[in-house]
């Protein structure tokens, strides 16, 4: 298709100031430094993509993402976006470690492709669910602040809260206890971001049980390469265990499936990219692994792509697509809208992923 030929691809910084730094066990981020990708077809149709690199998670930052995408521009120029899958595979062989850079390009390609076909990205993925319900993440903050935030979120209608866990010390226990007290009706997910070894993770879960704090999900308790440890935690605690950092690529998830090392796989477009993310979802479904969808620090551009991905495919049991309030300053309109804890009327988000420049 002549009109579906890529003419130009550009990558520019997309920055947001944070009111408070974003802190997880593996690092602190004082501001959001994402990348905006614009791809223009010969037909004039534009596709938009976003990368949200988080150094301690995926080893990329804004500068490396921009350099990676600019280095791909010669390769991309002249390609037909209807060959999306082949382009995606070739990009992975060229820049396998630059996952969020590749994801942003894939997002822009699929946006342009679905716009060209007059469909939405949600249709592309199967159009399974018109509404999805997200949790909300409480950062590593003082227990009192956590209690207040939990109460407020519960009053706003959130049914599941997620909190980050640091070192598994007294402070973590107090914070989780405070969240549980502030929102007793909410399910509680925790994410250690690789902070424990298997024994520590099991001991920490027992301590929470003793405090009467009931967990719904324990995400990435151990180091990403410690699949044996992940399996051990899964077998020893009575809480669903999710692989996140341990599940970047399809090859990682194949191993997790083979070893039955997790109950849940957290798919993030910024880790797997869009094509491989879809393959991971299929593999998990075929093997009875529950699906989770997560995010980094995307604006509503990247967030919308994840919303359409998960709701289009359908069957995601855990949804962790909670945008930081600061990103609403982005120069975009359209896309998925979060009302309280749900993205509704997803069928109406179109064409492509529905995001337009303001
Ligand atoms: Mg996580």
Cis? peptide before 351, omega within 30° of 0 = yes
170 shares its domain with 100? no
170 shares its domain with 153? yes
Q: Are 292 and 218 in contact (CB under 8 A)?
A: no
Ligand 1 centroid, distance to 276 Cα (angstroms): 18
Q: Which of 50, 106, 135, 219 is catalytic?
A: 219
Last residue of a domain, one of 72, 94, 118: 118
246 shares its domain with 339? yes
Q: Is 164 one of the annotated active-site residues of the chain?
A: yes
Q: Is 317 one of the annotated active-site residues of the chain?
A: no
Each residue's pLDDT tens digit, 103-161: 999 999 999 999 999 999 999 999 999 999 999 999 888 999 999 999 999 999 999 99
Predicted local distance difference test score (pLDDT) of residue 25 = 60
Q: Which of 50, 111, 135, 191 is catalytic?
A: 191
- Answer yes or no: is pLDDT of 166 > 80: no
With a CB cutoff of 8 Å and minimum separation 6, the contacts of 117 are none
Each residue's pLDDT tens digit, 15-51: 999 888 877 666 677 899 999 999 999 999 999 999 9
Q: What percent of the chain has pLDDT over 90?
A: 91
192 shares its domain with 287? yes
Among residues 353, 128, 71, 92, which one has the least CA distance to residue 84? Answer: 92
Ligand 1 centroid, distance to 191 Cα (angstroms): 6
Q: Which of 60, 106, 226, 244 is catalytic?
A: 244
- Answer yes or no: is pLDDT of 222 > 90: yes
With vertex at residue 18, the alpha carbon angle to CA 14 and CA 21, rounded to the nearest 5 degrees, is: 120
Predicted local distance difference test score (pLDDT) of residue 29 = 79
Predicted local distance difference test score (pLDDT) of residue 1 = 67
Domain at 260, CATH number? 3.20.20.120
- Answer yes or no: is pLDDT of 55 > 90: no
The range of the structural domain enclosing residue 275 comes to 123-357
Q: Are 355 and 304 in contact (CB under 8 A)?
A: yes
Average pLDDT over residues 291-298: 97
143 shares its domain with 261? yes
Ligand 1 centroid, distance to 219 Cα (angstroms): 6
Ligand 1 centroid, distance to 221 Cα (angstroms): 9
Give the environment of ion ligand 1: residues with CB less than 5 A.
Answer: 191, 219, 244
135 shares its domain with 217? yes
206 shares its domain with 326? yes
Ligand 1 centroid, distance to 268 Cα (angstroms): 9
Our CA dihedral for 40, 337, 50, 219, rounded to 10 degrees, sits at -150
Q: At what angle do helices 99-117 and 84-94 cross, to 10 degrees?
A: 170
Q: Is 255 one of the annotated active-site residues of the chain?
A: no
153 shares its domain with 182? yes
129 shares its domain with 268? yes
Q: Is 244 one of the annotated active-site residues of the chain?
A: yes
Ligand 1 centroid, distance to 350 Cα (angstroms): 29
Domain at 55, CATH number? 3.30.390.10
204 shares its domain with 341? yes
Q: Which of 92, 164, 231, 271 is catalytic?
A: 164
Ligand 1 centroid, distance to 125 Cα (angstroms): 24
Q: Copy the structure tokens of residue 326.
A: 């600061």
Mean pLDDT, the chain, integer: 96
Q: Copy the structure tokens of residue 3.
A: 């009109």
With a CB cutoff of 8 Å and minimum separation 6, the contacts of 10 are 37, 38, 73
Number of structural domains found in the chain: 2
136 shares its domain with 164? yes
Q: What percent of the chain has pLDDT over 70?
A: 99
144 shares its domain with 185? yes
Predicted local distance difference test score (pLDDT) of residue 109 = 98
Each residue's pLDDT tens digit, 208-221: 999 999 999 999 99
Q: Is 123 one of the annotated active-site residues of the chain?
A: no
Q: Which of 268, 271, 275, 276 is catalytic?
A: 268
Ligand 1 centroid, distance to 291 Cα (angstroms): 13
Last residue of a domain, one of 83, 118, 153: 118
Last residue of a domain, one of 118, 150, 173: 118
Q: What is the pTM of this model?
A: 0.96
């Amino acid at each position: 298709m002549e009109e579906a030929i890529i003419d130009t691809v550009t990558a520019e910084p997309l920055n947001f100031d944070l009111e408070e730094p974003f802190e997880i066990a593996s690092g602190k981020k004082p501001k959001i430094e994402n990348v905006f990708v614009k791809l223009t077809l010969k037909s004039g149709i534009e596709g938009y993509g976003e990368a949200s690199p988080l150094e301690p998670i995926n080893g990329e930052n804004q500068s490396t993402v921009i350099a990676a995408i600019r280095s791909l521009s010669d390769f991309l120029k002249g390609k037909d976006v209807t060959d999306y899958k082949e382009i995606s595979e070739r990009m992975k062989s060229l820049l396998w470690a630059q996952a969020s850079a590749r994801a942003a390009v894939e997002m822009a390609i699929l946006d342009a492709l679905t716009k060209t076909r007059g469909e939405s990205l949600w249709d592309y993925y199967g159009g399974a669910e018109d509404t999805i319900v997200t949790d909300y993440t409480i950062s590593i903050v003082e227990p009192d602040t956590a209690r207040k935030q939990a109460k407020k979120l519960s009053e706003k209608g959130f049914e599941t809260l997620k909190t980050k866990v640091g070192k598994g010390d007294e402070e973590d226990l107090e914070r989780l206890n405070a969240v549980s007290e502030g929102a007793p009706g909410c399910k509680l997910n925790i994410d250690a971001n690789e902070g424990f070894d298997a024994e520590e993770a099991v001991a920490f879960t027992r301590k929470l049980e003793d405090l009467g704090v009931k967990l719904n999900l324990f995400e990435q308790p151990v180091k990403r390469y410690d699949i044996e440890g992940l399996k051990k935690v899964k077998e020893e605690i009575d809480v669903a265990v999710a692989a996140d950092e341990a599940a970047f690529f399809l090859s990682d998830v194949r191993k997790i499936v083979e070893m039955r090392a997790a109950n849940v796989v957290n798919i993030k477009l910024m880790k797997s990219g869009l094509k491989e993310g879809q393959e991971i979802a299929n593999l998990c479904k075929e093997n009875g692994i529950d699906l989770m969808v997560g995010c980094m620090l995307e604006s509503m551009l990247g967030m919308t792509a994840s919303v359409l991905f998960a709701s289009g495919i359908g069957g995601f049991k855990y949804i962790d697509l909670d945008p930081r309030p600061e990103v609403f300053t982005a120069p975009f309109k359209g896309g998925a809208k979060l009302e309280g804890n749900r993205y509704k009327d997803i069928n109406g988000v179109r064409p492509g992923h529905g995001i337009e420049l303001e």
